Amino acid sequence: MDIQNIRNQFPILSRKVNNKPLIYLDNSATTQKPQSVIDAVSNYYTQINSNVHRGVHQLSQLATDAFEEARKSVQEFINAKEHHEVIITKGTTESINMLAWSFGEAFIKEGDEILVSEMEHHANIVPWQMLCERKKAKLKVIAVDENGVLKMQEFANLLNSNTKIVSIAHISNTLGTINPIKEIIDKAHKLGALVHIDGAQAVAHTALDMQELDVDFYSFSAHKMYGPMGIGIFYGKEQLLNKMPPYQYGGEMIDQVSFTKTTFNELPYKFEAGTPNVGGMLGLQAAIKFLSDIGLDQIKTYEDELLNYATLELQKIEGFRMIGNSPHKASVLSFLLDEIHPFDAGTILDQLGIAVRTGNHCAQPIMDKMGIPGTIRASLAIYNTTEEIDALILGIKKTQQMFL
Amino acid sequence: MNIEEIGQEIVEEFSMFDDWMDKYNYLIELGRDLEIIDEKYRDQQHLITGCQSRVWLSAEEKEGRIYFKADSDAVITKGIVNLLIRALSGQTAEDIINDKLDFLEQIGLKDHLSPTRANGLSSMVKQMKLYALAFKAKKG
């Protein structure tokens, strides 16, 4: 794989920050966009912009066809059985809120239980918490061990016939842990519980197959997989989606309206109120092509190599403490340096042109559990190099010197 | 000295630094020099939350002037807290309310006070001004 060739496709990677060449290691927050994605969005607005699904005119037809083609690209990419199982949202957070509300209305009653894990980010905690408050249901939390690994025995103990849904991250944004989702899905199904997987951190790093996983719901965002912001996917099994009420009302999701009775459109439109982000969807399609052209297996192999190199080299630094040591990890390196506050370290690294994330990563519960105020997080993508890891290591050493 | 004069003094101090490293080394030094806040003020009531770093602030009034004490868990934030206290503590409520802290822009640290920075500093300045307003209102 020619990394330089891949890097060349990302215009932003050649810019400078604080007069230093940008070293972008904040890919778990959002990835940069290749020229093909930027062009797809730009071409949409320069060539075919018009509202979808309702115009008889040529442009509307072109936009509608392009939009529905893009939906099919997503279907293929995640191997969903039906294209109408692919619901278009504005991102993972909206997907999970939609699920929690709509699923909750259809299936949750007093005394039911919902399972999440300690390593979830806020978007996969709070919608469930609010649902439980509304319906007098119980939110149960699967603990994580000191390495950041989900306690599977505890999961088995918590799972019972009252469990209606399990909602777990595929990959933790803070710890990098890859959860054994197939095992979770199979165990939950045996007891009649459904499973939602929050795939925000997984989709750019590992191949997905909805049918093989037999997962009931799966959410992800385009912007974490080289696509545009403001577009995301909510996958659900057809027979479940059909039993769930719409989350929002208006636009294409309506079938018939009168002031006494309104009926709703079919899947997927039932869940797509208002004008969709067509440009964003075409950007997502281009991002899928970008990923597929390289191949997710190739990407995983390269990123694993990079992760192993970084893990090995970083751990040689005195005072370096990795947070999250699961044997199954994606390319996320969360760490602390001596007693240096993550904000201080992040500020100095930024001056060196190195973009990392600091803070609690919108995952306060896991930070509290580990007894730390936050971490410094370097998260890697396909365009990162070992030279950039070396620069990070130099930057860390310089930071340590400044706070000695 | 009034706030503007102190601000000018700070600008002169920072003009000696040629590069960002010297500047940040000095901020770290200032952070470490910040007078230690009484432990009783490091509580929930005095906490100003930021997602990145936390700041604690207390204020009291003596003879028409307001005195601040503050602390943070991050050293660079503490360094900037030190500058803010130096400029604003011991001034009149009126001056604190009206000052725009232009010196921070001149020394290139204004962006640390952006509300989006989430380090607690922007909320701290707001809180300092609110204290000043409250003292002024109480005095009538």
The whole-number pLDDT of residue A235 equals 98
Please say whether the beta carbons of B71 and B37 come within 8 A. yes
Q: A1-15, A186-200, A390-404, B122-136 — which is least confidently predicted? A: B122-136
Share of residues in chain A with pLDDT > 90 (%): 90
pLDDT band at A340 (very low <50, low <70, confident <90, very high): very high
Please say whether the beta carbons of B81 and B121 come within 8 A. yes
The whole-number pLDDT of residue B28 equals 96
Return the higher-pLDDT residue of A306 and B119: A306
Domains in chain A, ordered, with CATH? Answer: 3-30+296-403 (3.90.1150.10), 38-292 (3.40.640.10)
The whole-number pLDDT of residue A370 equals 87
User: Which residues from chain B sit within 8 angstroms of residue A344, using beta carbons?
Assistant: 28, 53, 74-77
Nearest by CB to residue B75, choosing from A18, A344, A359, is A344
ipTM surpassing 0.90, yes or no?
no
The whole-number pLDDT of residue B43 equals 85
Q: CB count, 10 Å around CB of B130?
A: 12
Catalytic residue numbers of B read 51
Q: At residue B118, does pLDDT exceed 70?
A: no
Q: At residue B50, does pLDDT exceed 70?
A: no
Q: CB count, 10 Å around CB of A11?
A: 12
Long-range contacts of A140-145 (CB under 8 A, 24+ apart): A140/A113, A140/A114, A140/A115, A140/A116, A141/A115, A141/A116, A141/A117, A141/A365, A142/A115, A142/A116, A142/A117, A142/A118, A142/A168, A143/A117, A143/A118, A143/A369, A144/A117, A144/A118, A144/A119, A144/A175, A144/A177, A144/A366, A144/A369
Average pLDDT, chain B: 88
pLDDT per residue as tens digits for the range A261-276: 888 889 999 999 999 9
Task: Give the minimum alpha-carbon distance from A360 to chain B in angstroms, rounded to a whole number.
Answer: 7
Average pLDDT, integer, range B86-99:
95
Average pLDDT, integer, range A6-10:
98
- A120-141 burial string, b = 16+ CB within 10 Å, else e? bbebbbebbeebbeebebebbb
Report how many domains make up chain B: 1
Q: Which of residues 119-138 of B touch A (CB under 8 A)?
A: 119
> Rounded to an integer, what distance in angstroms lies between the CA atom of residue A361 and that of residue A351?
21
Nearest by CB to residue A373, choosing from B73, B75, B76, is B73
Give me the amino acid identity at A35: Q
Query: Cβ contacts of residue A1 below 8 Å, gap of 6+?
Result: A294, A298, A302
CA proximity to A355, closest of A121, A97, A24, A99: A24
pLDDT per residue as tens digits for the range A218-227: 999 999 999 9
The whole-number pLDDT of residue A65 equals 96
Whether B20 and A351 lie within 8 Å, measured CB to CB: yes
Enumerate the H helices of A79-213 as residue ranges. 92-107, 126-135, 152-158, 181-190, 210-213
Tell me whether B82 touches chain A (CB under 8 Å): no
Q: At residue B112, does pLDDT exceed 80?
A: no
Q: What is the DSSP letter of B71?
A: E
Nearest by CB to residue A344, choosing from B21, B25, B74, is B74
The whole-number pLDDT of residue A71 equals 98
Whether A343 and B76 lie within 8 Å, measured CB to CB: yes
Q: A281-285, A311-315, B65-69, B124-128 — which is least confidently predicted? A: B124-128
Structural domain containing residue B95 = 3-139
User: Which residues from chain A sit within 8 angstroms of residue B54, using beta carbons?
Assistant: 373
CATH code for position B100: 3.90.1010.10
The whole-number pLDDT of residue B33 equals 93
> Rounded to an integer, what distance in angstroms lies between the CA atom of residue B34 and that of residue B49?
19
Q: A349-353, A361-365, B86-90, B93-97 — which is least confidently predicted? A: A361-365
